[in-house]
Structure 1
Amino acid sequence: MQKTDVAKHWNENADQWTRDVRAGFDVYRDKFTFPAFLDALPAIKGLDVIDFGCGEGTNTRTFARMGARVTGIDLSIRMIQHARRTEEADPLGIRYQVASYSDHCGMPDASFDAVLSTMALMDGPDFPGAMREAYRLLRPGGFILFSVLHPCFITPGLGWEKDDEGRTTGLRVARYFDRSSFTEHWRFGNRPKDEDVLPFSVPRFPRTISDYLNAVASAGFMITQIGEPQPSHAACEAVPRFSRWRDLGGFLLLVTARRA
């Protein structure tokens, strides 16, 4: 699967995705993955920050409200259009650009103090390229922080084990070394079941944890922090299915690294 295929899928997803995210249907983002990312994020007030895979800009706008000077890039022109419309209606000084995070994006070397990416880098075909581009864009001493689905648990053969009463008792991990790309079809799970909504088509590029960490190191970064956060007790109370990811397996991987 090529970048053009990825862009096509996300252009087709963009309108429904934007409506759903802004309506609060992405409870994983709202109650787990983005709060965990913010917990790991150093202070960014006054920094030049670029958001890799910014999508429709919800997270990007949070970074801007934290005092950063923010640029967002995304492969999907439809996603960027949604982000720009929101910026026009409520300006925060964000610059958005249609670009691949794994190619030269057209911005000068050493333009940024931080590269951030929330749940986007697992959806592109060239992760090593993304790390090289991040390294190029960072000033000396700058850092990258990214979150991805945990590669050791979110595998192509994932499945939940249940007992005779239907209670979830374990997580089956299979085909860990199967790096074949595929397209996953799903919709946000807390939507009303009878709604006539087409599922999203989301390209997936399975990798091992060594694929991720070695690409970070090979680009020249020094890894400074690895995070495997669990959903909070409050999040599990609000969304009971999160307890599976608190007790039975890891959902999220966070990596922080610095450029020398």
Structure 2
Amino acid sequence: MTDEMLQDVAARWNGNADQWTHDVRQGYDTYRELFTFPAFVDFLPPLVGLDVIDFGCGEGTNTRRFAQMGARMTGIDLSERMIGHARKAEEDHPLGITYRVSSYSTDTGFPDASFDAVISTMALMDGPDFDATMREAYRLLCPGGFLAFSILHPCFITPGLAWQRNEAGIATALCVSRYFDSSTFTEEWRFGSRPADEIVQPFAVPRFPRTMSDYLNSIAAAGFRIGKIGEPQPSAQACEDKRFARWRDLAAFLLLVMAERP
């Protein structure tokens, strides 16, 4: 990982920040609202009274939700504009959250063993150095503290993903290819729940593909003891939207990992 690479990722997310914040707070991120966040909350142990750091907190929506669950929250993100939006929400409706502009792949500046938990929701797959991220998470945790994160499932969300559909246009299989292709690329997309007639600039999201073994071996190499893995399916309510039914029936969208610092 180079400083230039981190600067490029930061620049991409600074460019995404204003539209991203607007869209998330308007409820356009239906994957988060109906699936990825509820699944992560179900996966977590209680957070009440814990000192918790959120890696890749973005504009702070999930960080605020964790604070409302009783955690003493700190959020970090390498995007200065994202952190600006998070701080503004904290100023308007204080929950005692501290935000800092920092990459989770470098020394975040906090003392060793500062936190009871390191959590991250749908962010770690977008960072360039997962090995360094795990080492920093381990350093920040008290002995007995835990790491919990959610990411796109690396076995199914690959650079060559494509849906196979029948004559009615219904997805019948997920075609996975280029699983071992670790080439970095930038994906452009927008939230599918936005009104179709609204013209917005697509988000530019840097991707750093990894295999399942890349993730798990990095966690173990940092010194963690892996305790639980989750591959949740969307709820019946979420599957009323056919976009979610395919992730219930055909493949896993989400990977959840929990590990402990001995």
Tell me whether the two structures share a fold, i.e. TM-score over 0.5: yes
Report 1:1-260 matches (<5 A): 2-237=5-240, 239-260=241-262
Q: Describe the superposition over 1:94-128 as per-residue Cα deviations: whole angstroms up to 9, x where unpaired.
A: 00000000110000000000000000000000011
Alpha-carbon distance between aligned partners in 2 of 1:125 and 1:43, rounded to the nearest angstrom:
30
Map Cα deviations across residues 49-70 of structure 1 (whole Å, 9 max, x no partner): 0000000000000111111111
- State which drifts further: 78-87 or 1-10: 1-10
Moved over 4 A (4+): none
What is the CA–CA distance in structure 2 between the aligned matches of 1:63 and 1:158, rounded to whole Å? 32
**Distance (whole Å) between structure 1 residues aligned to residue 109 and residue 172 of structure 2:** 49
For structure 2, the 5+ residue unaligned runs are none
Unaligned runs of 5+ in 1: none
Match for 2:99: what amino acid?
Y
Paired with 2:140 and 2:261, the residues of 1 have a C-alpha distance of: 10
> 3-state DSSP class of the match of 2:257?
strand
Query: Which amino acid is 1:173 matched to?
Result: V
State the one-letter code of the partner of 1:145.
A
Distance (whole Å) between structure 2 residues aligned to residue 213 and residue 78 of structure 1: 31
Q: What is the total number of aligned residue pairs between the two structures?
A: 259
The structural deviation recorded for 1:192 is 1.3
The farther-off stretch of 192-201 and 20-29 is: 192-201
TM-score by length of 1: 0.99
DSSP 3-state at the match of 1:131:
helix
* RMSD value, Cα: 0.7
Alpha-carbon distance in structure 1 between the residues aligned to 2:159 and 2:122: 17
User: Secondary structure of 1:256's partner?
Assistant: strand
Give the AA of the match of 1:251.
Answer: F
Q: Distance in 1 between matches of 2:250 and 2:224?
A: 32
Equivalent-residue separation in structure 1 for 2:169 and 2:17 (angstroms): 35
SS in 2 for 1:210: helix
Local SS of the residue matching 1:233: coil
Partners in 2 of 1:93 and 1:165 — Cα distance? 51
1:25 maps to a residue whose letter is Y
Q: Give, in whole Å, the separation in 1 of the partners of 2:151 and 2:199.
A: 29
SS state at 2:237 partner: helix
Percentage of pairs with the same residue: 70
Letter in 1 for 2:205: V
Question: Following TM superposition, by how much is the alpha carbon of 1:241 offset from its aligned partner in structure 2, in angstroms?
Answer: 1.2
Q: Distance in 2 between matches of 1:16 and 1:127?
A: 27
- DSSP-derived class of the 2:39 partner: helix
Please give the secondary structure, in 2, of the residue aligned with 1:183: strand
AA of the residue aligned to 1:234: Q
TM-score under structure 2 length normalisation = 0.98
What is the CA-CA distance between 1:164 and the residue it aligns to? 2.4
- Alpha-carbon distance between aligned partners in 2 of 1:165 and 1:23, rounded to the nearest angstrom: 32
Q: Which amino acid in the other structure matches residue 249 of structure 1?
A: A
Distance 2:146 2:93 in 1: 28
Secondary structure of 1:51's counterpart equals strand
- Give the CA deviation at 1:240: 2.1
Task: Give, in whole Å, the separation in 1 of the partners of 2:68 and 2:194.
Answer: 29
Residue 125 of structure 1: SS of its match in structure 2? coil
